[in-house]
Amino acid sequence: MPTRHLKKLTEALGDLHLTCDYWDVRIEDTVDTTITVTQGEVVNCSISPSLGAFIRVRRHGFWFFEATTEIDQIKNTLQRLNQMPARLAQSSPFVVEKHPLFDRVQHHDEALYLVPLNEKIQLLEKYEALTRQQPHIVNSTFRYKDTYKIKSFLNSAGTQYEYDFNQAGINGRFTLKQEQNIFSDAIHLYATHFKNLYEKENKIKDYITESAEFLNAPIIEPGKYRVLLSPEVAGVFTHESFGHKSEADFMLGNDEALKEWSLGKKIGADCLSIVDDGGHHATSGYCPVDDEGTPAQKNYLIKNGVLTGRLHSLETAFQLNEKPTGNSRALNFEWEPLVRMTSTYIEPGKKSLDEILKNAEGALFLDGVKHGSGLSTFTIAPSRGYRILKNGQKERVRVTVISGSVFETLKNIEEVSADFTLENNAIGGCGKMEQGPLPVSDGGPFVLIKEMQVS
Amino acid sequence: MRYDILHLQEIASTLQIEGNTINALKNSSLDRYGVRRFENGKQFLTSRLGQATLEQLLTESKNWGGPGTPYEAPFAAPHKEHRQGRELSENILQEFEEKTRQLILKYPQFVFSGKCALQQTTTSLKSNDGLDLMSSGGATAWYLIYQRRGSGNMMDGFFAENSLGPNFDEQIEFQRPFLDVFDHVAEIQSGKMPVLFINATEPLKKLIESFSVQRYYEDSCLYAGKLDQELFSPKITLLDQCYDPAQGDHQFFDDEGTVRKNDPLLLIEQGRFKSLICDLRFSKKYNYQTTGNGRRNYNTGVQVMPHHLRFAAGEKPWIQTLKNLDQCLIVSIMAGSESNDLGEFSSPVQVGYVFKKGQLVGRAPQLSIKTSITNCLSKNLIAISSDSFLPNSGEPCLITEAEVLVS
């Protein structure tokens, strides 16, 4: 089961001298457990250990990658990659800063794979059985997943790190049906200690009871609406609408994009500040050091409506002459790191939710997220919608998708509340190119937006 | 005790281009094993990444299999069959590199990023009661996404092909008119208009759910109870294809060892709901014959899933149909779509084009579309094409009328 590999790695590579610009090795030793219970029956229960390394060599600006499970052969692999024929002729020095040793293997004694499988199965069965107390539920599938991982890293600048990552979650999906009306919904639970998944019975029951109320809710008339986003929806909005656009790899070779995204430009409302920070412990976006050895930091992407930063890897920072930000992340040892988010959120404001609600009559309150995506137009499929009536009362409505243009929506933000929640997910995550789901977290306050397309 | 072992062996080389620079080459050679041990009415699942002997795998199964899950279904019948597909040419990566460089020179107003991956895959499923299935073959998967300089978008279009032997020239030639008209945004009005879906998986989501034997018999899907009923236009025939080596799908068996007698499987035949999809476990539970749709990764349990859904070819090539239409919206990318439980579908169109009388006139403005699965396959259906929109994709496209909302 997962162990530390850094000592062996430094011993094996201590005398290595290569002629390349840069090299690094990342070993990931992981155990995943997944359990699925459908309609009272355990249909899947599997444990997946994996141990492997991703090795990179940069020569004259060109990268050679190799993914391998033969971790005893890392030195030979590095030497072989160093002999590969040069494919670019870039000569400017690729300077990589050395960072102090980061050693934080802290969950080893409470790693989730140590919790007996029977205990996990019983908990999942108990929670799934709650769905049968609601008469309209015709289908339910509850899925449990936990991950324990130790990452060990060494690069040619001398940066070394070793840390572990421990998370578990339950995703309960269910479908309600009454005559011809169908409503599907899902509840998510997250913890970094197994005991924190206990005693969620009331939360699940309340959630299902509220879902059942949507069976007969009217479908919203498509159009433009003033909307109030819950912290969960605000988080997905932040991630999808703006976070992906802050990833610097999409600006490579594109001077026009850099001009449009010039730092210091006013792009959002004054009340809007967006942050990405991998340092939030006990979240699914926890990434204290990225997969190239750059420590996490609090990166302001927008501060008071002004574009103040973007997310970088070593390569994108080098190409754009900026600083790495600790955002180079890979899905697992089989993949090369890409520029990715960690924990991304809107900073809270000063007004209470009650104060905001007083000014939100007629707006749509959106809560829960089925999925979201962000390209030229971002979209979010919220699971629940409510029309805000007088005196803060709410009327349920069914909403399929909200969408909009990123820049217009950032400028349309009216208020952000003082409340703040960071949402985590141990089963889903972020997808980019072939790599997903990568654990991330996102969140924020309640956010009031002047206008969004709703359908 | 019975066991079976799914072994996936993949050797891959991938060339990467980022921001107009060919900047990385990745090699990987990985072995993955999924072990299922059946004992005393229970199933025990374990997996391993990296090479291993049979003895190691069985020892790990005993040590790590946990308490197991109930399993009382039948197993696939003993069967030995090995199929060897064609191997790939080593020159493909070099050709990808050359063609990409030519594209960059010809279209300096665009920035290209993407990958070309050559994969040689061998999949075997062996049991101790006589199952011995093996398939192998190569596949090339390549894509290039492009950004128009100054558009501010992360992606303004793409080229993509999954096949045994890619034809870069054909793909580039096909995309050339779309690159040429990119700067012209066509004028269209909100309202009902013909729409061509290059890939109809998203609008068909609620129909696809209904094929699952479990969802169907639980009465938790849109078309529950409607098997053998005529649901759509007679022009609609929908298939699930398992084995398709021309598209790089070399595996002729599902991950429980079922080899289909009739592949592709007819799900909708001339508008009539013809078949569900089923695995061995649900075949016992619902007394429905398995259709060879028990699918799993090396590290997961079996799930009922389609292999590769596609429409049966219609009568005319898509361009012939478009020539008879005043205008038609081509939906190229629609990330972020959603279907509600009534089968109503809506999505923003991230990348779209407009044809008028069969002529490409420009890029679509920012818009979203709305339709319903039942209407788009029946009263609003215009045609299923005889050919695919993208060369070599093997997927005839859906042309139907939908509500278009220009932002």
State the nearest Cα–Cα gap between A375 and chain B, in angstroms: 6
Q: What is the mean pLDDT of residues B206-235?
A: 95
CA distance A355 to chain B (A): 32
Average pLDDT across chain A, whole number: 94
Determine the residue among B154, B158, B372, B405 to mutate to test chain A binding: the one whose Cβ has the most chain A Cβ atoms within 10 Å.
B154
- Residue for token pair 């920072």: A317
User: What pLDDT was estimated at residue B340?
Assistant: 81
Enumerate residues 6+ apart whose C-beta is below 8 A from B318: B196, B383, B385, B387, B389, B397, B399
CB-closest option in A46, A245, A252 to B45: A46
Is the pLDDT at A234 greater than 70? The verdict is yes
Q: Is the pLDDT of residue A241 over 90?
A: no
Q: Do the Cβ atoms of A377 and B23 come within 8 Å?
A: no
Q: Does B341 touch chain A (CB under 8 A)?
A: yes
Res B405 pLDDT > 70: yes
A53: β partners: A27, A68
CB contact under 8 A, B18 and A249: yes
Mean pLDDT over B80-96 rounds to 90
Nearest to A455 among B155, B346, B366 (CB): B346
Residues of chain A contacting residue B151, judged by C-beta atoms under 8 Å apart: 376
The answer to whether the CB of B387 falls within 8 A of the CB of B313 is yes
Residue A108 to chain B, least CA–CA distance (Å):
19
pLDDT in tens, B264-276: 999 999 999 999 9
What residues 270-289 of chain B have any CB closer than 8 A to a CB of chain A? 281
Residues whose CB falls within 8 Å of the CB of residue B44, separated by 6 or more in sequence, listed in order = B36, B37, B38, B61, B65, B66, B68
Q: What percent of chain B clears pLDDT 90, i.e. is strictly above it?
A: 82
- The pLDDT of residue B63: 87
Helices and strands (H, E) in chain A, number of each type: 9, 24
- Crossing angle of helices A117-129/A201-212, nearest 10°? 30
Chain A positions touching B154 (Cβ under 8 A) are: 244-245, 250, 375-376
* Among the partner residues A42, A181, A374, nearest to B69 by beta-carbon distance: A42
**pLDDT exceeds 70 at position B239:** yes
The reply to whether B27 touches chain A by the CB within 8 Å rule is yes
| Contact: A139, B215; criterion CB under 8 Å | yes
For the segment B367-372, the average pLDDT, to the nearest whole number, is 90
Percentage of chain A lying above the pLDDT 90 cut: 83
| Overall pTM > 0.95 | no
Mean pLDDT of chain B: 94
Query: Using the beta-carbon criterion (under 8 Å), do B19 and A252 form an inter-chain contact?
Result: yes
Residues B341, A182: C-beta atoms closer than 8 Å:
yes
pLDDT in tens, A71-102: 999 999 999 999 998 887 777 899 999 999 99
Q: Does B372 lie at the interface with A, CB-CB under 8 angstroms?
A: no
Q: Which of A177-181, A223-227, B12-16, B204-208 is predicted least confidently?
A: A177-181
Chain B residues whose CB is inside 8 A of the A255 CB are: 149
CB A308 within 8 A of CB A218: no
* Tokens of residue A276, six digits: 């990405």
For residue A376, list chain B residues with Cβ-Cβ distance below 8 A.
Answer: 151-156, 350-351, 366
pLDDT of residue A1: 83
For the purposes of burial, counting CB atoms within 10 Å of the CB of B377, is it exposed (0-12), middle (13-18) or buried (19 or more)?
Answer: buried
What type of residue is B220? S
| Three-state DSSP state, A353 | helix
Judged by a CB distance cut-off of 8 A, whether residue B332 touches chain A is: no
pLDDT score, position B89: 79
Selected residue of A80, A376, A412, A430 to mutate for chain B interface (largest B Cβ count, 10 A) = A376
Burial of A273 by CB count in 10 Å (0-12 exposed, 13-18 middle, 19+ buried)? buried
Predicted confidence band of residue A319 (pLDDT cuts 50, 70, 90): very high
Contact A66 B26 (CB under 8 A): yes
Q: Which residues of A touch B16 (CB under 8 A)?
A: 63
A183: Cα separation from own chain's centroid: 27
Determine whether the interchain pair A254/B111 forms a contact, defined as Cβ–Cβ distance below 8 Å. Answer: yes
Over residues A255-312, the pLDDT tens digits come to: 988 888 899 999 999 999 999 999 999 999 999 999 999 999 999 999 999 999 999 9
Give pLDDT, residue B171: 94
Which pLDDT band, with edges at 50, 70 and 90, does B152 fall under?
A: confident
Look at residue A374 and tell me whether its pLDDT is greater than 80.
Answer: no
Counting one residue from chain A and one from chain B, the pairs whose CB atoms sit within 8 A come to 219
- Contacts with B317 (C-beta within 8 Å, 6 or more apart), sequence order: B385, B386, B387
Does A376 have pLDDT greater than 70? Answer: no
pLDDT tens digits along A19-59: 999 999 999 999 999 999 999 989 889 888 999 999 999 99
CA distance B270 to chain A (A): 26
Chain B residues touching residue A260 (CB < 8 angstroms): 150, 152
* Closest residue of chain B to A177, computed from CA coordinates: B220
User: Would you call A45 and B220 a contact, using CB atoms and an 8 Å cutoff?
Assistant: no
Nearest Cα of chain B lies from the Cα of A175 at a distance, in angstroms, of 7
Closest chain B C-alpha to A288 CA, distance in angstroms:
26
Q: Looking at beta carbons, which residues of chain B come within 8 Å of A39?
A: 218
Cβ-nearest to B20 among A46, A253, A403: A253
For residue B66, give the chain A residue with the closest CA: A117
Partners of residue A253 in chain B, C-beta under 8 Å: 18-21, 111
In chain B, residues 74-103 whose CB comes closer than 8 Å to chain A:
none
Whether the pLDDT of residue A349 is over 90: the answer is yes
Selected for mutation to probe chain A from B341, B349, B406 (highest A CB count within 10 Å) is B341
The whole-number pLDDT of residue B66 equals 84
**C-beta separation of A188 from A212 below 8 A:** no
Of A49, A175, A336, nearest to B26 by CB-CB distance is A336
- ipTM summary value: 0.92
Q: Under 8 Å CB-to-CB from B343, ≥6 apart: which residues?
A: B206, B207, B222, B372, B373, B374
| B22/A87 Cβ within 8 A | yes
Residues of B with Cβ-Cβ distance to A67 under 8 angstroms: 26-28, 30
Query: Under an 8 A CB cutoff, do A49 and B48 touch?
Result: yes
Question: Is the predicted pLDDT of residue B336 greater than 80, yes or no?
Answer: no
Distance from CA of B229 to the nearest CA of A (A): 18
What is the distance between the alpha carbons of residues B319 and A368, in angstroms, rounded to a whole number?
Answer: 42
Contacts of A38 in chain B (CB under 8 A): 214
Subunit contact B21:A253, Cβ cutoff 8 A: yes
Contacts 24+ apart (CB under 8 A), B58-62: B58/B3, B60/B35, B61/B3, B61/B35, B61/B37, B62/B37
Q: CA of B117: which chain A residue's CA is closest?
A: A434
| Nearest by CB: A183 against B341, B347, B366 | B341
The alpha carbon of residue B386 is apart from the nearest alpha carbon of chain A, in Å, by: 31
Cβ neighbors of A215 (< 8 A, separation 6 or more) are A136, A176, A177, A178, A181, A182, A183
Q: Do A44 and B215 touch (CB under 8 A)?
A: no
| Model pLDDT, residue A134 | 93
